[in-house]
A and B are shown apart, each in its own frame.
Chain A
Amino acid sequence: MQMHNTIRDEVLLDVRSLETHFYGEESVTHALGGISFQIMKGETVGVVGESGCGKSVTALSILRLLPKLTARTVGGEVRFHGQDLLKLSEQEMRKIRGGKIAMIFQDPMTSLNPVYTVGHQIAEAIQIHTGVSRSSALTEAEEMLRFVRIADPERRVSNYPYEMSGGMRQRVMIAMALACSPELLIADEPTTALDVTIQAQILRLIVDLKERTGTAVMFITHDLGVVAETCQRVIVMYAGRIVEQASVMDLFARPMHPYTQALMHSVPDRRRGRQSRLPEIPGIVPNLRDPIIGCSFAPRCPFAIDICREKTPVLRDIESGHAAACWRSEEIVCA
Chain B
Amino acid sequence: MAGYILRRLVSTIAVMVMVGIFVFLLLRLAPGDPAAMIAGRSATEEMIAGIREQLGLNDPMPVQFMHWVGDMLAGDFGTSILAGRPVLELLSQRLEPTLSLAILTMILAVTIGVSFGVLAAWRAGGFVDRILTGFSALGYSVPVFVIGFFLIYFFAVRTHWLPVQGYVPMSNGIALWFMHLILPTVTLGLGFIAFIARVTRASMLEVLSEDYMRTAVAKGASSYAMLFHHALKNAGVPILTVVGISFAYLIGGVVITETVFNLPGIGRLVVDAINNRDYPIIQSVLILTSGLYVLINLTVDLTYMLIDPRIRY
> Chain B interface: which of A27-35, A111-119, A227-235?
A111-119
Complex-state Cα separation, A69 to B209, whole angstroms: 12
* Residue in contact with A65 in the complex, picked from B214, B225, B308, CB distance below 8 Å: B214
| Residues 230-268 (chain B) with a chain A CB within 8 angstroms | 230, 233-234
B218 touches A98 (CB 8 A): yes
Binary CB contact string for chain A from 174 to 189 against chain B (1 if under 8 A, 0 otherwise): 0011000000000000
Say yes or no for A99: interface residue by CB 8 A criterion.
Answer: yes
Residues of A within 8 A of B233 (CB): 115-116
Total cross-chain contacts (CB, 8 A): 71
A103 touches B218 (CB 8 A): yes
A162 touches B219 (CB 8 A): no
Say yes or no for B202: interface residue by CB 8 A criterion.
Answer: no
A99 (CB) vs chain B CBs: closest residue: B220
Residues of B within 8 A of A95 (CB): 220
| Residues 81-103 (chain B) with a chain A CB within 8 angstroms | none
Residues of A within 8 A of B217 (CB): 65, 97
Given contacts A110-B212, A111-B215, A113-B230, contact A128 B309 (CB under 8 A): no
A94 touches B212 (CB 8 A): no
| Residues 77-127 (chain A) with a chain B CB within 8 angstroms | 94-99, 102-103, 105, 107, 110-116, 124-125
Residues of A within 8 A of B212 (CB): 110-114
Say yes or no for B210: interface residue by CB 8 A criterion.
Answer: yes
* Residue in contact with B307 in the complex, picked from A98, A112, A115, CB distance below 8 Å: A115
How near does chain B come to A243, taking the closest CB pair, in angstroms? 28
Residues of A within 8 A of B307 (CB): 115
* Residue in contact with A115 in the complex, picked from B125, B211, B234, CB distance below 8 Å: B234
Size bracket of the B interface: 20 to 34
Complex-state Cα separation, A63 to B219, whole angstroms: 10
B308 touches A94 (CB 8 A): no
* Residue in contact with B310 in the complex, picked from A94, A105, A114, A173, CB distance below 8 Å: A114
B218 touches A107 (CB 8 A): no
A105 touches B309 (CB 8 A): no
Complex-state Cα separation, A271 to B266, whole angstroms: 73
Complex-state Cα separation, A103 to B124, whole angstroms: 26
A97 touches B220 (CB 8 A): yes
A125 touches B234 (CB 8 A): no
* Residue in contact with B211 in the complex, picked from A98, A105, A128, CB distance below 8 Å: A105
Say yes or no for B38: interface residue by CB 8 A criterion.
Answer: no
Say yes or no for A129: interface residue by CB 8 A criterion.
Answer: yes
How near does chain B come to A154, taking the closest CB pair, in angstroms? 19
Say yes or no for B222: interface residue by CB 8 A criterion.
Answer: yes
How near does chain A come to B119, taking the closest CB pair, in angstroms? 15
Residues of B within 8 A of A103 (CB): 218
B219 (CB) vs chain A CBs: closest residue: A98
* Residue in contact with B218 in the complex, picked from A65, A114, A116, A162, CB distance below 8 Å: A65
Complex-state Cα separation, A103 to B220, whole angstroms: 11
A160 touches B220 (CB 8 A): no
A124 touches B219 (CB 8 A): yes
Residues of B within 8 A of A125 (CB): 219-220
Say yes or no for B216: interface residue by CB 8 A criterion.
Answer: yes
Q: Which of A98, A99, A102, A176 has the most CB of B within 10 A?
A: A98
How near does chain A come to B90, taking the closest CB pair, in angstroms? 45
Given contacts A114-B212, A115-B233, contact A160 B309 (CB under 8 A): yes
Complex-state Cα separation, A160 to B305, whole angstroms: 13
Complex-state Cα separation, A124 to B225, whole angstroms: 10
B220 touches A98 (CB 8 A): yes
B308 touches A128 (CB 8 A): no
Residues of A within 8 A of B211 (CB): 105, 107, 110-111
Say yes or no for B39: interface residue by CB 8 A criterion.
Answer: no
How near does chain B come to A124, taking the closest CB pair, in angstroms? 7
* Residue in contact with B222 in the complex, picked from A63, A94, A107, A176, CB distance below 8 Å: A94
Residues of A within 8 A of B308 (CB): 114-115
Say yes or no for B221: interface residue by CB 8 A criterion.
Answer: yes
Given contacts A113-B230, A114-B308, A160-B309, contact A128 B215 (CB under 8 A): no
Residues of A within 8 A of B210 (CB): 110
Complex-state Cα separation, A261 to B230, whole angstroms: 44
A63 touches B221 (CB 8 A): no
- For the A-B complex with A102-B218, A105-B211, A105-B215 known, give 18 more contacts whose Cβ atoms are closer than 8 Å: A65-B214, A69-B125, A95-B220, A97-B217, A97-B220, A98-B220, A99-B220, A102-B219, A110-B212, A111-B212, A111-B215, A112-B215, A114-B308, A114-B310, A124-B219, A124-B221, A125-B220, A173-B215
Show 24 residue pairs from A and B whose CB-CB distance is below 8 angstroms, ordered by the A residue: A65-B217, A94-B220, A94-B221, A94-B222, A96-B220, A97-B217, A97-B218, A102-B219, A105-B214, A105-B215, A111-B212, A111-B214, A112-B212, A114-B234, A114-B308, A115-B309, A124-B221, A125-B220, A128-B219, A128-B220, A160-B310, A176-B215, A176-B219, A177-B219
Binding site for A on B (CB under 8 A): 124-125, 210-212, 214-222, 225, 230, 233-234, 307-310
